[in-house]
Structure 1
Amino acid sequence: MNDHSKYLQWKKSIPLVYDFFTHHNLQVPSPCVHWSSVLSKEEKHLSQIMCFSERGNTKNHIIISKVKVPSEYQSDLSRISQFNESKPSPHMETLGKIKAPRNTEVNRLRTFPTCKHLLLSKSDLSDLHIWDISDPSSPKDKDPVVLKGHEDGVCESSFAVDTCDSAMMVASGDQQGNVLIWDVQSLESGTDGKKALSPIQSLKGDNGHTDTVEAVKFQPKSSQELCSAGDDKSIRLWDLRAPEAPVASAFNENDNDFHCVDWSAFDLNSLLAGDSQGVVYLYDKRKFSAESKDCYIRSFSGHTAAVTCLEFNPLTPNYFASGGEDGCVVLWDTNKEQAMAVNGSTVDTNVELIFNHVGHRGSIQDLNWNPESPWCLATVSEDSSEGLGGGTIQIWRSSSLSRMTKDELSKEIELVCRDSKRVKTGPGP
């Protein structure tokens, strides 16, 4: 079966394996997508801001869109597979656009949990920018706050950026192995009159990164701790109270570059890292040492090419999503193997893999769980090589059946069969 036949087969299966799905064609590629503030919330759906960037030959923009996301079990399953790959999504509406600074490519977008009207962008420029999008239809794109500190030319194709969950802080990595930290608390009162901010710290020092920093992530409950991962095949743990050197480090067992990293909000000892050969590693930070290579708890091998992005589910512990250059987005259950072993069952290969989203036709550029709608993901791919335009954004929620245990699934099937039989025979006496 060729790739096109597999795609058509997947498309037919959408009503069976998805609770919600929508497809949005992009005329030019986009390297990032990020959820922002909720506009309205009703019983059957919510309206929410979602931002992404456009990377064109002549014009680069940040797009601010409104997305209507159905609540679970509220989608019309008979229609969700009836989409045209070359058309925009009926669930998405463009509200406003921001011109990218100096027409550069915007690689990553982030919001601040306490100030979601502020949007952080990281581009190929050495400066980062913070935009006020409190009025999405008329964003303040003329006077962004500029975060200075990186040297010229060290942030080209750079994706390492994060905002802190517990404070108004920003971390950014570059090609020289530096991680810079900014305190932007002053922006809580507004961005008017504030033009540029300098970093409060620069992390490298002894035993720091020796190559490009590909990803940074704050500890979810602390503004003083963060981790970074990069092309020197290492993950570094940092404490801003002792910034002279990393607190601890871990190195890739197979000497592969790390592309992405995340930190669990439910278990602060758990870190994820994805590498250039398609493997995701789960680490316990307490096992890090100066030069450790075997301190990971377990590995996940569901991709056939490099892992480009990953993220823990922010609403449900033990689950995460990973995206790769193979065009797949995989959902994982980190507890599944452990639970099966406790029950005395034989553990199958990749038993932790609970769902494989294969609706994209090109490399996955970014993914973001919706923090307001359980199990809803936004994913974006670059599809220019497939002749479908520049890229695709897909917003989707897998069926709850994919997350059930065998016992739960058996009971659900039994209930469906019983209800079906009752409909056919009619009510009893």
Structure 2
Amino acid sequence: MNSKKEGGSASNPLSIEDRYSQWKSHIPVLYDWLANHNLVWPSQSCRWGSLLEEQNYKNRHRLYISEQTDGTVPNTLVIAAVEVVKPRVASAEHIAQFNEEARSPFVKKHKTILHPGEVNRIRELPTDTNIVATHTDSPNVMIWSVESQPNRTAVLGAPASTPDLVLTGHKDNAEFALAMCSTEPFVLSGGRDKYVVLWSIQDHIATLAAAVDPDDKQSTNVGGSSEKAAKSPSVGPRGIYRGHKDTVEDVQFCPTSAREFCSVGDDSCLILWDERVGYTPAVKVEKAHDGDLHCVDWNTHDINFILTGSADNTVRMFDRRKLNSRGVGSPVYKFEGHDAPVLCVQWCPNKSSVFGSGAEDGIINIWDHDKVGKISGSADPTVPATSPGLFFRHAGHRDKVVDFHWNVSDPWAIVSVSDDCASTGGGGTLQIWRMLDLIYRPEDEVLAELDKYKSYILGSDSDT
């Protein structure tokens, strides 16, 4: 089902606008649901929150979005309520009709927090979904109790909101590497100081819901803003881990252990850490990629597999059983399907072999490593046959994809955001989408279902 003319060729690639137009024409046959939301300001992070309400034909979810302004108004952390139509409810005509310049009626802003500095990363605490952590252009990590934080209006001169807690320990800016543990209230961060820093907020969980007194004298200045610094209670690190030789770009906990985690950085290294054996690397892969590493994710279904994404345009999958303390370890497989640096990777929460990758080429690729080596093509006509394992390409963004996130409670629903300043001069584009289930379900199951509707598909007067 692959077609070279659909996607251009290596020597004559489609322009971004041509690719986008082609993508729009395929929407009715590729998507079960799609919502497009134009953002006034660029965004660096988008994250699903908890399921708020389940209805007959749609679900309401919490969504976190960052807004990076030009300084005329404060930077913000936005908590929104998003309606996602359930599978096989929306008509093809409905999902194909949207205006790129409009704001989606399915995305409603619920609360705005005026953030001290830009919001580079947002992570929700799995053990308490009302608590989120944010990174900014400062050494500190900020903790917010989103229910107790007041709703603010972003106007020029407005003072920044006060974090409920500030995590200290970095010696230089900690901009992007941020993770929350799924088993304990632990927070992990990496930064320009080449450190990986671990905190426990266990002792503060009970008090985070209480309002913070801005005049509290036992407090720490919050960096990252030109405004008058707010003050918040602070927590020092549980441990500082040294092993990288350049900026740490991403970190991730082992899904089953708060004591094991990994990190990647601009030194091209993938490092596995174990709190139980000290502050030096347990395993260090010296040249995991042929360029800076931007992102890492640990498989929640099979903890042996770790994904990394790099400036070398590839995604690589490592099996930790095949790594050793001497720094030896080759990837299980190298996935090639992007034309620019890979900025984000994430395993699918619903199927252990599936993952997504987003890159500066404006594409989110969906892969299945179980399909590597198998000949069967993709139901998505835009997928090239030269990228084994690739079975879906989301080409709805016209500039670099800076973040995306699978929805745990709404299988196969994805939120993604692009920074559109370079291409359109605008802010950003937020999209919520779910591919048609005929694309990812087992082939024999799909064929059996289609066979039931064969006469309808081919026409009632067909002899076949």
Contact 2:404 2:416 (8 Å CA) reproduced: yes
Letter in 2 for 1:299: K
Q: Which moved more, 1:44-53 or 1:249-258?
A: 249-258
Q: Which moved more, 1:410-419 or 1:3-12?
A: 410-419
Is residue 312 from structure 1 mapped to residue 347 from structure 2 by the alignment? Answer: yes
Alignment partner of 2:284 out of 226, 237, 249? 249
Question: 2:432 maps to which residue?
Answer: 395
Structure 1 residues 253 and 239: CA distance shift in structure 2, 3 A: closer
Contact 1:86 1:389 (8 Å CA) reproduced: no
Question: 1:365 maps to which residue?
Answer: 402
Question: 1:336 maps to which residue?
Answer: 371
Alignment partner of 2:179 out of 153, 162, 177? 162
Letter in 2 for 1:77: A
Is residue 91 from structure 1 mapped to residue 106 from structure 2 by the alignment? Answer: yes
1:388 Cα deviation (Å)? Answer: 5.5
Alignment partner of 1:14 out of 27, 30, 43? 27
Letter in 1 for 2:448: K
Q: Which moved more, 1:141-150 or 1:107-116?
A: 141-150
Question: 2:420 maps to which residue?
Answer: 383
1:424 Cα deviation (Å)? Answer: 3.4
Alignment partner of 1:43 out of 38, 51, 56? 56
Is residue 149 from structure 1 mapped to residue 172 from structure 2 by the alignment? Answer: no
Give 1:7-156 correspondences, 5 Å limit. 7-58=20-71, 59-101=74-116, 104-134=117-147, 138=151, 141-151=161-171, 153-155=172-174
Name stretches of at least 5 consecutive residues in structure 2 with no aligned partner: 1-13, 153-159, 213-231, 377-384
For residues 402 and 420 of structure 1, the distance between their equivalents in structure 2, rounded to whole angstroms, comes to 17
Structure 1 residues 9 and 181: CA distance shift in structure 2, 3 A: same
1:406 Cα deviation (Å)? Answer: 4.3
Q: Which moved more, 1:185-194 or 1:368-377?
A: 185-194
Q: Could you list the per-position Cα deviations for residues 255-313 of structure 1 after superposition, in whole angstroms to 9, with x for gaps in the alignment?
A: 31111000001111100001111100010011112454552111100101100001001
Give 1:405-420 correspondences, 5 Å limit. 405-420=442-457
Q: Which moved more, 1:12-21 or 1:130-139?
A: 130-139
Alignment partner of 1:179 out of 196, 199, 202? 196
TM normalised by structure 1 equals 0.91
Question: 1:353 maps to which residue?
Answer: 390
Partner SS state of residue 205, structure 2? helix
Q: Could you list the per-position Cα deviations for residues 241-265 of structure 1 after superposition, in whole angstroms to 9, with x for gaps in the alignment?
A: 1223111122335531111000001
% identical equivalent positions: 33
Contact 2:289 2:312 (8 Å CA) reproduced: no
Q: Could you list the per-position Cα deviations for residues 345-382 of structure 1 after superposition, in whole angstroms to 9, with x for gaps in the alignment?
A: xxx63231010000100001011111110001110001
Question: 2:299 maps to which residue?
Answer: 264
Q: How many residues align?
A: 411
Structure 1 residues 318 and 136: CA distance shift in structure 2, 3 A: farther
Alignment partner of 1:302 out of 332, 337, 340? 337
1:419 Cα deviation (Å)? Answer: 3.5
Give 1:212-223 correspondences, 5 Å limit. 212-223=247-258
For residues 269 and 393 of structure 2, the distance between their equivalents in structure 1, rounded to whole angstroms, comes to 28
Structure 1 residues 388 and 244: CA distance shift in structure 2, 3 A: closer
For residues 391 and 402 of structure 1, the distance between their equivalents in structure 2, rounded to whole angstroms, comes to 28
For residues 388 and 74 of structure 1, the distance between their equivalents in structure 2, rounded to whole angstroms, comes to 35
Question: 2:274 maps to which residue?
Answer: 239
1:70 Cα deviation (Å)? Answer: 1.3
1:137 Cα deviation (Å)? Answer: 7.2
1:24 Cα deviation (Å)? Answer: 0.6
Structure 1 residues 25 and 304: CA distance shift in structure 2, 3 A: same
Q: Which moved more, 1:191-200 or 1:396-405?
A: 191-200
For residues 328 and 34 of structure 2, the distance between their equivalents in structure 1, rounded to whole angstroms, comes to 40
Contact 2:19 2:395 (8 Å CA) reproduced: no
1:26 Cα deviation (Å)? Answer: 0.8
Is residue 195 from structure 1 mapped to residue 264 from structure 2 by the alignment? Answer: no
For residues 435 and 149 of structure 2, the distance between their equivalents in structure 1, rounded to whole angstroms, comes to 29
1:195 Cα deviation (Å)? Answer: 1.4
Structure 1 residues 137 and 355: CA distance shift in structure 2, 3 A: farther
Name stretches of at least 5 consecutive residues in structure 1 with no aligned partner: 342-347
For residues 306 and 64 of structure 2, the distance between their equivalents in structure 1, rounded to whole angstroms, comes to 26
1:136 Cα deviation (Å)? Answer: 7.7
Question: Which runs of 4 or more aligned residues in structure 1 lie more than 6 Å from their structure 2 counterparts after TM superposition?
Answer: none
For residues 3 and 180 of structure 1, the distance between their equivalents in structure 2, rounded to whole angstroms, comes to 40
1:201 Cα deviation (Å)? Answer: 0.5
Q: Which moved more, 1:59-68 or 1:403-412?
A: 403-412
For residues 161 and 184 of structure 1, the distance between their equivalents in structure 2, rounded to whole angstroms, comes to 15
Letter in 2 for 1:162: A
Choose between structure 1 and 2: higher strand proportion: 1
Partner SS state of residue 350, structure 1? coil
For residues 333 and 141 of structure 1, the distance between their equivalents in structure 2, rounded to whole angstroms, comes to 42
